[in-house]
Amino acid sequence: MTYWFAGQLHEGEQITIAANNPALAYGASVFTTMRVYENSLKHPLTAWNWHRDRITQSLHYFDWPQPNWQAVTRGCQAMLTRFPVLRLTVLADGQPLITGRPLPTDLHQHQMEGVTTWVAQGHKYQRSLPAHKTSNYLPCWLAMQTAKTHGARDAILSTPSGEWLETSSGNLWGYKADQWWTPPLTSGILPGISRARLIDNFADQVITDIPWSLDCVKQFECLAYSNCVVELIPIHTVLFGNIKLNYSSTHEGLSALRQMFYRPSMYDTTAEHPMQNPEMR
């Protein structure tokens, strides 16, 4: 295993960190996970500026120090030659940690065929501070592990009243009546980077202000989730208590949404700064 910490590359499975560090005691750190295209932070699809600004915004919100961003960039450049996916974590003291991993081996299959998801209900699956990617991801991890016991690939988080929010790893998309829908930020979801850019590209074709009740999701013709690593994954089956909902994984609407990831304007580096974009909060 290779990782970047304390300003240099390290080999091995061990990292030296104080036992009383708040990152260990309380999950006091924030992170972002990005897919690096063509081994370049400058590639438009890598969206490095958006990932960096996501971290910057959260550190500002928590009143934590910023890392040395020039050093962080050097660390990412050293790691991207080894891994196509990088996770940048910044501890509450401003110390950055960069780890890497390969793309999922079954990614293409899931992109084409879709997956099954399970709706997580109950207070133990409720995320805290959902607008920020803190390292306290226990509710999402629990939901994902439980989903697997039901034969599902991912979990859909929900409110106590039953509204769907997001999956444990991405933002939800539903399609009906020639329009895409995504749950509103006011429901308590992560303002994902891919979500924000897809909304910008679809303009008035996306409904973003209506909560996803059961009556609402039953009307969708197709369903999917997005994040910066997997891009777009169709959902063909949802397990919701005793209810099984089925959706098309070959719907033409999915092709249109998938193509948005490769439009020139998708990650235009001259676009509005994410910290000024209300969809990124």
Residue listed under structure tokens 């020639």: 178
Report the share of the chain in percent with pLDDT over 70.
Answer: 93
Are the C-beta atoms of 156 and 166 separated by less than 8 Å?
A: yes
Q: What is the pLDDT of residues 255-266, one digit of tens each?
A: 888 887 776 555
Q: How does residue 183 score in pLDDT terms, banded at 50, 70 and 90?
A: very high
- What's the predicted TM-score (pTM) here? 0.91
pLDDT at 273 over 50: no
Q: Which of 81-85, 223-227, 244-248, 264-268 has the lowest mean pLDDT?
A: 264-268
Q: What is the pLDDT of residues 49-107, one digit of tens each?
A: 999 999 999 999 999 999 999 999 999 999 999 999 999 999 999 999 999 999 999 99
Enumerate domains of the chain plus CATH numbers: 2-103 (3.30.470.10), 107-262 (3.20.10.10)
pLDDT at 125 over 90: yes
Q: Which of 39-48, 179-188, 200-209, 263-272 has the lowest mean pLDDT?
A: 263-272
Three-state secondary structure readout of 72-115: HHHHHHHHHCCCCEEEEEEECCCCEEEEEECCCCCHHHHHHHCE
DSSP codes, 200-253: HHHGGGEE-SS-B-HHHHTT-SEEEEEETTTEEEEEEEEEETTEEEE--SS-HH
Q: What is the pLDDT of residues 126-175, one digit of tens each?
A: 998 999 999 999 999 999 999 999 999 999 999 999 999 999 999 999 99
Residue 246 CB neighbour total at 10 angstroms: 11
Q: How does residue 201 score in pLDDT terms, banded at 50, 70 and 90?
A: confident
Q: How does residue 177 score in pLDDT terms, banded at 50, 70 and 90?
A: confident
Helix (H, G, I), strand (E, B) or coil at 187: helix
Tell me, what's the pLDDT at 278?
Answer: 40
